[in-house]
Structure 1
Amino acid sequence: MAARTWRAVRPLISRHASRWNCGHGRFIATDSRNRLSRFWTPTGLVEADLKAQDAQQKDAKPNAPKDHSYSFLARAGYLRQVQSGIFHLLPLGLRVQNKLEALIDKHMSSVAAAKVALSSISTEALWKKSGRYSANSELLRVKDRRDSGFLLAPTHEEEITAMVAASIKSYKDLPIRLYQIGRKYRDERRPRNGLLRAKEFVMKDLYTFDYTHENALETYEAVRSAYNNLFDELNIPYTVAQADSGNMGGKLSHEYHFIHHSGEDKIWSCDGCEYVANEELVQHKTEEKPSDHVMVYTAISADHKTRINIHVGMPGAKDQYNTFVWDQHLNPHAIRSAVEALEVELATGLEQDTLAHLVSNTTNTVNVYDIRLRSQLDSAEADKASHDLEAILPGDTCPKCEKGHLTPAPGIEVGHTFHLGTRYSKPLNAVVATPENAEKVAVHMGCHGIGVSRLIGAAAALLHDEKGLNWPRAIAPFEVILMAAPGVPEEEVAEVYDTLSGAGVDVVLDDRTGKSLGWKLKDADLIGYPVVAILGKAWKTERKVEVQCRRLGVKGELMAEYQDGLTKFLGRL
């Protein structure tokens, strides 16, 4: 009988142990409920912090629209800035990051990827082998007492490739899918926009290894599908754009963007089809235009040794082109592609006098011709007229469909998939024996990233109003916050909490003393819980739970089966 009585009483003791005192001691809390009284949420405006961030943003991009994501994250107690571009995550921020990492883990398992944790310290020697050391001006270099030559890795292609190369011998060891979520570093000249461009940031990197090009492309498409599923589950509108691989290498890549005014990328989309590309890869339909004369503009290579003459046909009077604006006349990315062997520095950043002086001392000359001039050139020159060098302008005709027109929009890049090919496996000797070749062949790689900390900042930028943040359910610190008006018995509050928690809802109880219900509601709006559940007058009289959801514009009351109603709300978030 005694044992049976103890089994009945023990859950009550566990439930309320956190409130019991015994003499001069105090029992250790065993209540497993999430309570804000035990969770540090330092909300409120941090004036010095926010002013410093605003000053950095103004210095970096003086005329850019102000980004409010950092100020909301700071006011709502998610993070604090300690140095320019360096942040501490507070408990709320860490919960959001943990939720996002769990979501990533879920979707990486769908492509059979195994998780690793690579060191943030890499070596200069590996980066020199891959050829990326001298070309990367954003590396944070570290010297130890032996002057060994380390750096804080902004990415891990070199390290992961060297590790895999030492572990594989045959094509039978492939495929390999390895990913990590960790801190990365970049010597950012002008950190700005809070988490959107920082010196220290959290990234997810997936590295894939296949023994044929065809298998690598199949892997690439599988990862793209997993990314689409992940971003769909976030329930934040996103855009996928064809992208340039840059110094990562390879010829195939796609970017994932949130369209927002604080974005630093320009994303072009067609209003008549699904064509989307970033500004480095966008094209318009090349249409023949009558050329009354040829204008020749000048650029210079990055090493200032090669003059680049850019020939473009112009209709109309020559005088109208005396005032030259690069963005209006020429596409700098197309010019860089046309002289692929050179790292081109265009005249956009040089005064005319400076450019003239540099050009006068060049030892080589390269001529680049717009593709529209091909019919006017001799055979040798026509071979050099392979690119459309005209600037892309809003309203230009889409290259993929008959009637569509192109429109630009600013985007925040939050993910990127690269098909790398053998860009790193060859220099780092990641090779395997195959049944088709007597000699070993380089493996084919892919690299697929998600900016974890940037995505948190981007979500805050997109999903806020004048009251505060509006997190999507998938990464909200808690899905539901439960609070009660004075006079509601704690046992009834606990009953509602347990019912929601038992239904799988991630709920937190605002049991902080000395705070009015009105204050708690404003604080909940600032923090941005998807759903606020209130036990107020309607609960006392009719056992109804008041529910508020700003993102859906919902405010109402739910009766006995309130957990089902809440679950339906959450399903739309």
Structure 2
Amino acid sequence: MVAPMAARIWRCRTHSRPSQLRAYSRVSEHPRQRLSKFWTPTGLLQTEPKDHNAPNQKGGLQKDDSASLLARAGYLSQVQSGIFHMLPLGLRVQNKLETLIDKHMDSIGAAKTSLSSITTEALWKKSGRYSTNSELLRIKDRRKSGFLLSPTHEEEITTLVAASLKSYKDLPIRLYQIGRKYRDERRPRNGLLRAKEFMMKDLYTFDYTHETALETYKAVRTAYNNLFRELGIPFIVAEADSGNMGGKLSHEYHFVHPSGEDKIWICDQCEYVANEELAEHKTEARPFTDVMVFTAISADHKTRISIHVGVDQPKDSYDSIHWDHLLNPHALRKAAENLNIDLATGLEPDTLRKLLENTTSTIDIYDIRLQNHIPEATHSPATRDILAIEPGDACPKCENGHLSQVPGIEVGHTFHLGTRYSEPLNAVVATPNNTEKVPVHMGCHGIGVSRLISAVAAMTYDERGLNWPPGIAPYEVVVIPGSGIESKDGEEVYDSFKGAGLDVVLDDRADKNLGWKLKDADLIGYPVIVVLGKTWKSEAGGKVEVQCRRLGEKKLVEKDEVAVTVADLLRRCGKWENPKWVSSS
């Protein structure tokens, strides 16, 4: 009876996650997985009543953030600010995420590699990024040579590929790695979301032409969408600014959550989604009572930029240096680019005042609503809608939509780099007619693996603990024998999952009672809990209680039906009813 049911479950489960199941289906292939043999350091945190992280009087957990909850549940341990050890439970989640990523990178023909975490200052100076990055962790060897702990690997991978390229026939190339990255984070916070050391998946693509590079970019985006859909967490894809990475085309992948540091603008009628650094709104009339002139400076610090905008309060109430909160930085940069000027950003007021003293020229930028207020003597003014976006502003992409802002946790980013790195690092190929060599076109596509662990935890935890989606849970199912249940009975239920393709663990810790184990299971966040309690010991016997917190279901099940029932619960609890604005592209 068990074998045919198990076969049905295997077909159902492998249809959705074959690569993960092969890596973690151990019930029939290995000795039983037992918590008595697995280190889960959660006991002290649950039993000390004076600890502010202990269970509250109602038996649940006090309100907590996901970062500290991961530590309390035994997934990680903080060493110093921004530095963490990944413990056995956390490593299982990380490994499952890597397996999921490997599957979707394989779908686009990407080959996996592993680059050194140490790179050279000389290489970063060659690409022009050494002096512009304040978060580089710099180290010296015994010869005082300059090295860096890599925050990213564009320079290294481009140099590596350039050495092997001869002809356009060698392309395309798609290489990725999953490894540790480093940054000298000034203010680490939110646990794994902003740390000094982190795990990252970065994919680098190399193509012969701009057109084929865009096709590759499209294929990567499709793979990312499929990956996040399979993960089962709602996500949005936002148009984004490329920043220090270079290039003009990039998209960010976000989970919408109150702890998110990014601000994302979304339309209530169409699929327009953009990071605040790139967002725009439809130009509409907006009343103003006074005209204010804000001051900025060009990136080369030679040109003063006078920004004219209508304000709804007397201009004396504004700081002439601080314009960020009233103006749209993206629109302002575009206006400056129309005059062949790069706008300097991120300057402190005192620094800006000193730099303005040495400017040699001045340009004017006017908000488009001030077209009738531009002096005739002003030459070549740039006019554009440069006002900051406000909730309720009209969407720039559709007729009736309005914009609202949501906080996002960035978990992935795709960049079309063009020749930003191939030109300075001489990654060139011969053309079909062999008359010249041209730089290859590149893309860089990242997923924050350790960020993703923390972000998923933030999206799914509740007052009882963590609550993982099945695809990356440390174990999908925990079997918990109650007090007085013989160990062979727990093993019998565990063994009933043979051939089902499920990742199951047996909580056989003899020194813990049933109540403690159930609280521990909720804290750790197994998707499904199978309990051998009173109904197992009753005269009818043979029934177990199956619980799924995410679905809010709890049912009594015959032993021979438990594997089928659990497989169905895992299938259903791996799905999430997505809000309207979640990307479907």
Give your verdict on TM over 0.5. yes
Distance of 2:531 and 2:153 partners within structure 1: 47
Match of 1:299 among 296, 299, 305: 296
Taking a change above 3 Å as real, the CA distance of residues 427 and 544 of structure 1, as seen in their structure-2 partners, is same
- How much does 1:345 deviate? 3.7
Distance of 1:256 and 1:363 partners within structure 2: 42
Match of 2:449 among 449, 452, 455: 452
Taking a change above 3 Å as real, the CA distance of residues 346 and 205 of structure 1, as seen in their structure-2 partners, is closer
Deviations 1:511-535 (A, max 9, x none): 1111000000000000101111011
Deviations 1:334-379 (A, max 9, x none): 32343354352467x427xx76565345444332222334465479
2:317 partner letter? N
Distance of 1:379 and 1:270 partners within structure 2: 38
Q: How large is the RMSD of aligned CA atoms in angstroms? A: 2.4
Deviations 1:130-162 (A, max 9, x none): 111100000001110112211000000000000
Bigger mean CA deviation after superposition, 378-387 or 362-371? 378-387
Match of 2:241 among 223, 239, 244: 244
Preserved contact between residue 252 and residue 414 of structure 2 (Cα < 8 Å): yes
1:571 alignment partner in structure 2? 571
- How much does 1:329 deviate? 2.4
Deviations 1:270-289 (A, max 9, x none): 00111000000100001245
Match of 2:232 among 231, 235, 251: 235
Aligned residues: 522
Taking a change above 3 Å as real, the CA distance of residues 304 and 501 of structure 1, as seen in their structure-2 partners, is farther
SS of residue paired to 1:467: coil
2:566 partner letter? L
Q: How does 1:159-558 map to 2 (within 5 A)?
A: 159-288=156-285, 294-301=291-298, 306-314=303-311, 319=314, 322-323=317-318, 326=323, 328-340=325-337, 341-345=341-345, 349-350=348-349, 359-374=356-371, 377=374, 383-435=380-432, 438-541=435-538, 542-558=541-557
Taking a change above 3 Å as real, the CA distance of residues 535 and 46 of structure 1, as seen in their structure-2 partners, is closer
SS of residue paired to 1:500: coil
Match of 1:134 among 118, 131, 135: 131
Distance of 1:254 and 1:365 partners within structure 2: 34
- How much does 1:448 deviate? 0.5
- How much does 1:388 deviate? 1.9
TM-score by length of 1: 0.86
Identical amino acids, percent of aligned pairs: 70
Distance of 1:355 and 1:132 partners within structure 2: 22
Bigger mean CA deviation after superposition, 536-545 or 439-448? 536-545
Distance of 1:102 and 1:78 partners within structure 2: 18
Structure 1 gaps, min length 5:
1-29, 48-53, 55-65
Distance of 2:395 and 2:132 partners within structure 1: 34
- How much does 1:31 deviate? 7.0
2:557 partner letter? L
Distance of 2:165 and 2:500 partners within structure 1: 47
Q: Which has the higher contact order (CA 8 A, sep 6+)?
A: 2
Deviations 1:168-205 (A, max 9, x none): 11111111110000000000000000000000000000
- How much does 1:492 deviate? 2.8
Taking a change above 3 Å as real, the CA distance of residues 269 and 287 of structure 1, as seen in their structure-2 partners, is same
Taking a change above 3 Å as real, the CA distance of residues 459 and 171 of structure 1, as seen in their structure-2 partners, is same
Preserved contact between residue 332 and residue 346 of structure 1 (Cα < 8 Å): no
Taking a change above 3 Å as real, the CA distance of residues 339 and 519 of structure 1, as seen in their structure-2 partners, is same
TM-score by length of 2: 0.84
Preserved contact between residue 44 and residue 77 of structure 1 (Cα < 8 Å): no
Preserved contact between residue 545 and residue 557 of structure 2 (Cα < 8 Å): yes
- How much does 1:487 deviate? 3.2
2:568 partner letter? K
Distance of 2:353 and 2:442 partners within structure 1: 44
- How much does 1:555 deviate? 1.2
1:563 partner letter? A
2:195 partner letter? A
1:38 alignment partner in structure 2? 37
Distance of 1:46 and 1:81 partners within structure 2: 15
Preserved contact between residue 487 and residue 508 of structure 2 (Cα < 8 Å): no
Distance of 1:356 and 1:123 partners within structure 2: 35
Preserved contact between residue 291 and residue 315 of structure 2 (Cα < 8 Å): no
